Amino acid sequence: MILLVSADRYTAIHQWLQDFFLNQTRDCQIKLYDLSGEFNLDHAQLTASNNCIIQYFDHISVLKQLWKQLNPHASEWWQLLDIASKQSTELPPIPGIEDLTKLIFFSEALESAQMGTILIAILPTPLHALKILGMAQKGPALIDQLLEPLLNWWDKTRQTLSTVEKILRLRLPSSQQLRLNDAWKSRLHLLQKTISDRSNHHFTLILDGKNYKPAQLRNRLSIAGMHRAIPHILIVEEASTEANVELENECRQGPIMINKSIAVPALVEEAKTNDEKRASNRIEEWDTEKLCAKIFLPGVTKANLKIEQVDASIHLIFNGYCRSIALPTEFVSKQCERAQIALGWLTLWFSHN
């Protein structure tokens, strides 16, 4: 069982954990991974009396571990760049690297988890958490898409420089040293499978309803849809009646349960088959006979939504965010002709000719 939780308020995380341990009846190991980066020692007090192991995300430690793995693997590159002898703390900072190390840290946790273990991940605050969950669904492509064009260029360039290499007695390293090895690919594939399929995890999102207006809450919910990070449970603390009504209208026909107070429900539905669980968690539906698609995008309004179809993908653009969806084979040669949003679902109709 994999539980993910993100909240605006630290007190909400604390209350969620209290409720979880209070209602936990299974005699099994629990592993809690704090990805928030805040090192909240209060977690240790909560878990002390339970069969729970807690680990805190430490960017510098993960980076150091990665450098130890990468340094021998691509030693010829590091020598060429004159960084082979450097420590991980001496490496130049790369934008976005901390989000990547969070995902690597969590992918290793997934890989090492034993059968029957309850794994809990405390994510950063909501907007950051949604971005990370969106990244996690890209799997190895998260790195490959960044490196592959450059590495392919290098392979071609290296061939043209073969004569120069001999004359100058240089040894130009192969791009293969910078490509993901099978162990890394396996972990990132596991992470992708876990986060992409909502039947493989349970995500609770706890928003602050006191300091956000209904329109702001709707917008934050739309960001979850734009990152394909739809929560299973949405809790809005101290929300106004107006906000509750709007959110319930948006979500009542979608796969989100709205709670008005923090509580951990029964998360395992033993009576349901795996297919039934997947059906109840579905956020995308493709009808090849009617040539239409339904995509759950709560909080998104038609007026501000732009839809672009390029080659074999549909790009949904809303308030500065873009969600790209690969078209199924049956839709690749079709053109999107019409769109409608109702009760949180975007429906797209494609041409029949």
Q: Is the pLDDT of residue 274 over 80?
A: no
Return the amino acid letter for 82.
Answer: D
* Lowest mean pLDDT across 34-43, 63-72, 129-138: 63-72
Q: If you search the block for the tokens 């979850």, which residue do you land on?
A: 224
pTM beyond 0.75: yes
Question: For residue 13, how many other CB atoms are within 10 A of its CB?
Answer: 26
Identify the pLDDT of residue 271.
45
Is residue 238 one of the residues assigned to a domain?
yes
Q: For strands 30-34 and 118-122, give the pairing.
A: parallel
pLDDT in tens, 200-240: 999 999 999 999 999 999 999 999 999 999 999 999 999 88
**What CATH number does residue 329 fall under?**
2.60.40.790
Tell me how far apart the alpha carbons of residues 259 and 127 are, in angstroms, rounded to a whole number: 20
158 plus 17 within the same structural domain: no
Q: Is the dihedral of CA 301, 305, 310, 313 positive or negative?
A: negative
Identify the pLDDT of residue 174.
58
**What CATH number does residue 90 fall under?**
3.40.50.300
Percent over 70 (pLDDT), the chain: 72
Is residue 270 one of the residues assigned to a domain?
no
Domain span at 22 = 2-140+180-259
289 plus 303 within the same structural domain: yes
Is residue 115 one of the residues assigned to a domain?
yes
Is residue 277 one of the residues assigned to a domain?
no
Domain count along the chain: 3
85 plus 217 within the same structural domain: yes
Q: Higher-confidence residue: 187 or 272?
A: 187
323 plus 197 within the same structural domain: no
209 plus 221 within the same structural domain: yes
Tell me how far apart the alpha carbons of residues 327 and 71 are, in angstroms, rounded to a whole number: 39
135 plus 28 within the same structural domain: yes
